[in-house]
Structure 1
């Protein structure tokens, strides 16, 4: 997790909802194979577009409150928060080209 910080239920309101730029939250778990596929792609996007969008990870097993409050039922779920609201939700592992296409409004 080079460029991506982990965020907890306690830190979520400040780190994510209080951010002045869009924040992509990767809801994941250790046992989730597709989550491990997406992780290096998110590292690359964070390295290339970190000036436009912040990317953080939240382990759903260690932090159950936030995923429950946003009805995250399958992982990986990538939610983009802007001004305290979910503005985009991407569910499932996707290749980098598709992720960048879906995130174009934030990284383009």
Structure 2
């Protein structure tokens, strides 16, 4: 069973930028109800795409160095990284269908 990876400033380079496959990253904050509502969707997507997609989340309050480098100005921000580059973006609330539409072309 795949789980959502907790990303950190120190692990972002190896876990996301240098990853061998596509990575869905959710930049989020624990105090945001919209972000918390997205958590079970991320778990479902991680399970559905196990072995084809890594799903990670990064708390911008606990990990303040990485998100400004990627111009994250609102949460939640979902980025799909492939070969170290952002290939898809969604900002704001999302349903499972929205997330699947975001990642499907890149897996």
Q: TM-score, normalised by structure 2?
A: 0.93
Tell me the secondary structure at the aligned position of residue 71 of structure 2: coil
Q: How far apart are residue 5 of structure 1 and its match?
A: 1.5
Partner residue of 1:71?
71
Q: How far apart are residue 97 of structure 1 and its match?
A: 1.4
Structure 1 CA distance for aligned equivalents of residues 15 and 71 of structure 2? 19
Q: How far apart are residue 65 of structure 1 and its match?
A: 1.1
Structure 1 stretches lacking a partner, 5+ long: none
**Is 1:54 the counterpart of 2:54 in the alignment?**
yes
Structure 2 CA distance for aligned equivalents of residues 22 and 67 of structure 1? 18
Structure 2 CA distance for aligned equivalents of residues 84 and 71 of structure 1? 15
Q: How far apart are residue 106 of structure 1 and its match?
A: 2.6
